[in-house]
Amino acid sequence: MFKEKTAMLGKGEIKYFVGGTGRPLIHLHGAGGVRPNAGLEALAENVTIYMPVLPGFDGTAEIAGIDSMETLADLVADFIDKEIGEAADVLGLSFGGWLAAWLAVRHPSKVGQLCMENPAGFRPKDAPAPSTDPETRMKQMYAYPERLPKETKSDKVIAKNLSMLGHYHGDTSFDEKLASQLGKIECLTMIMHGTRDGRVPEEAVQFLKRDIPRSHLIYVYDAAHSMETDQPARFAHLVADFMERAEAFLVNQGTTSGRPQQVL
C-alpha cells in the first residue's frame, strides 16, 4: 500500500513512504521508525500519508548538521516544501509528536492542522520515568501486542533507532525551550492520548492542551502508547474526521458517520 521514494532536500537525501487517497498528511514516526500498520492503512482510505524516514532511522544515513529537534524540524519543513508544496497536515507519534510541535512553532506556514499522538517531550520532572523493565515496557507500549504487525527490522536497526532519539534530543524529557513557545502554535491542534499509555503521563498532554491555543485533547480508550495498532479503527476515524472537518469535528454527524450511536 505504501510506496518507497526518495526526496532530495537542501541538506541531503531522505527516504520516505507514501500511500492513500485524499489530501496530504505528513506522518512523523516514533522511536521505532516507519512501521505501516492497520491504523495507518485505515487512515489512508481518506488521506494520502507521507511518512519520511528521519535521518539515521531504519538503517538510513544521518545528515550532517541535522542533530537537534530544531534542525530536524527545519528538515521536515523542507520536505513539505519539496514534496507537497505550500503546507500539509501533520501527525506525529511520540517522538514524532514532539517533533511536529517544533515544526509548528518554527514553520507555522508549513502546517495545516496538527495532530499529536501520545507525544513525547513533555514529561514533568516529578512524573515517573517510563520503565526499562522489558515486561513492564511491553505493557506500557501495547494494550494488544497481538495486533502488532510482524517485525521486519533487525535488532541492530532497532537499537540504532533508539539511539537516534538521544542524537536529536539528548536526555531531555521535558523540552523547556519548546514548552515556552507553545503559545506560538497557530494551527488547529488535536492531542490524542491512549488511556492505557504508560509511556506518556497524562500531565504531559494536559499541559499541551493548556498551552497550545487552538487545541483539543482526546482520550482514545483502551489504547496504550502504540495507539495505531491498539485501536486502529478509533485512531483512523478520529484523525480522518479531524483532518476533514476541522473545528466542526466537534459536531456529531449522526448515524451516517459509520460509528455506533451511544447510549443517551
Partner 1 sequence: MRFSYTHHMPYTGVTEAGQDWPVANKQFDPKLGVEMFQRYIEDKIYAEQAGFDWIGSNEHHFSPYGMMPNPNLVGAVLANRTKRAGILQSGNIIPITNPIRVAEEYAMLDVMSGGRLIAGFMRGIPHEYVAYNVSPDESYGRMAEAIALIKKAWSSPEPFGWEGEFYQFRAVSIWPRPVQQPYPRMMMSASSDASARLAAEAGSSAGFLRIVDFESTRQQIKVYMDRARECGWTPKADDVMIGMNCSIAPTYEEAKEILQAGQKYFFGVLGGGIRTAQQLVIQKTRYFKDKGAAEKFAKKATVQREASFDERVEQGLIVCGTPEMAIQQIQRIHRELGNGRMNLSVKIGNVADHHVTRTLDYLRDIVFPAVRQLGEENDPAQAAE
Partner 2 sequence: MKYSYTHHMPYTGIDRSGQDWPVPNKQFDAQKGVEMFNRYVEDKIYAEQTGFDWIGCNEHHMSPYGLMPNPNLVGAVVANRTKRAGILQSGNIVPIVNPIRVAEEYAMLDVMSGGRLVAGFMRGIPHEYVAYNVSPDESYDRMEEAMALIKKAWSEPEPFGWEGEFYQYRAVSIWPKPVQLPFPPMVMSATSERSTRLAAKHRAIAGILALLDMDDGRANINRFKDYSREEGWEPTNDHVMVGVNCCIAPTYDEAKKILEGGQEYFFGVLGGGIRTAQQLVVQKTRYYGSPEESAKLRNKFVNMRSGMKTRSFDERVEMGLMICGTPEMAVEQVTRLHTELGMGRLGLTIKVGNVLDEHVTRTQDYLRDIVFPATRHLGESAGPAQAAE
* 221 touches partner 2 by CB under 8 A: yes
Other C-beta atoms lying within 10 Å of the C-beta of residue 86? 9
DSSP SS3 for 238: helix
Kindly state whether residue 263 participates in binding partner 1, applying the rule CB under 8 A. yes
Q: How far is Cα 166 from Cα 240, in angstroms, rounded to an integer?
A: 32
Within 140-199, the residues that bind partner 2 by CB under 8 A are 192, 195
The binder of 29, among partner 1, partner 2, none, by C-beta within 5 to 8 A per type, is none
Partner residues linked to 172 by β-bridges: none
Question: Which entry of partner 2, partner 1, none binds 247, CB below 5 to 8 A by partner kind?
Answer: partner 1
Cβ-based nearer residue to partner 1, 180 or 253: 253
Query: Given the complex with partner 2, which of 134 and 260 has the nearer CB atom?
Result: 260
CB of 140 to partner 2, least distance (A): 16
Residue 8 interacting with partner 1 (CB under 8 A): no
Q: Which does 217 bind (CB under 5 to 8 A by kind): partner 2, partner 1, none?
A: partner 2
**Measured between alpha carbons, how far is 188 from 217 in angstroms, rounded to an integer?**
11
Give a three-class secondary structure readout of 64-113: CCCCCHHHHHHHHHHHHHHHCCCCEEEEEECHHHHHHHHHHHHCHHHEEE
Q: Which stretch binds partner 2 (CB under 8 A): 51-59, 115-123, 124-132, 208-216?
A: 208-216
Separation CA 264–CA 254 (nearest Å): 13
Q: Could you say which of 15, 35, 110, 234 contacts partner 2 (CB under 8 A)?
A: 234
DSSP per residue, 164-198 = HHHHHHTT-SB-HHHHTTGGG--S-EEEEEETT-S
Near partner 1 by CB under 8 A, which window of 51-59, 100-108, 218-226, 241-249?
241-249
Contacting residue, 82, 177, 184, 210, with partner 2 by CB under 8 A: 210
Backbone angles phi, psi at 113, to 5 degrees: -125, 150
> Residue 255 binds what, of partner 1, partner 2, none (CB under 5 to 8 Å, by partner type)?
partner 1
